[in-house]
Amino acid sequence: MKLLRLYESREISKKKERFDTEAKIIGGIETYFMPYLDIYYDGKFRNIIDGKEIEDADIYWIPSTVKKGISMNSGLIYYLGILKKKKIMDPFKYYGILGGKFQQTLFFNHYGHKTPKTFFFQITQEHKKSYIDIIEKNFTYPFLTKDLYLEKGKGVILIKDREELINNINKYTDQGILIQECIENTGEYRILCVGKKIIGSFKRYNPNHYKNNTYKGTLFEKAELTKETKKEVLKMVARYGIEFAGIDLLIGKDGELYFLEINSGPLYKRAEEVLEINVVKELLLYLKKGGK
């Protein structure tokens, strides 16, 4: 089985070495890596380094977020679909099902997956006072504001009073922003899924800060999920066709389950350390079976 892993950047040496090593241990898998910047099209998609066609792979693992080469990315995905090739990719981005934080919240709510109360505003200068009035009418301090385009906890601000709200709103003229209620909880959970199964889950919490994910001092520990939580997560996995993702959720102190986000490219190094599992091996075994 030939696996082609496409990357946006050329900085892939460590990941390539890891995948190559695991593939040799498992056997029967040939892995090769290629950045988008090395692809061109002349009626066929080729590697510009050696001119070799890239259509002879069995499985293509395509990144979910591409800033450079987006046209090449979407064109390649469309072409592989015509060829009926198996694709490992982010189904949310390229089939229009889900995109960023706001789109995910829309779909979670539509399909009955509970989320923290969330409002979305496209901030404009003439309506700033109206936004503030609506927010204060519907939210109790403190609450969170979230930048739509930043990741790993960046752009998440705890708003404790009206002055902080006004100062924060003023930063977002002609931009989108999320307002989200704070859920009293004991930590945030990351559930790792490969194929249509859960391979592990861990809890992350910070006793000294409102950010549970990447802020300094965040603690990690293995977590056991209830049958009900597993059932809800697997229902989501099946509905959205998730093949590799980290699903983030909160369990409130009242026991309620709140979905936060689906990360289609989760950082798995920390998960491997905490859970003592081999995520790369799980991925390759799944791919070797043809994504089944």
Q: Which fold has domain 101-113+184-288?
A: D-amino Acid Aminotransferase; Chain A, domain 1 (3.30.470)
Domain covering 2-88: architecture: 3-Layer(aba) Sandwich (3.40)
Supply the pTM of this predicted model.
0.82
pLDDT tens figures, 1-27: 888 887 766 556 677 888 889 999 999
End-to-end alpha carbon distance in the chain? 14
What number does CATH give the domain 118-181?
Answer: 3.30.1490.20
Domain boundaries, the chain: 2-88, 101-113+184-288, 118-181
pLDDT tens figures, 234-290: 988 888 777 888 899 998 888 889 999 888 777 778 888 889 999 999 989 998 887
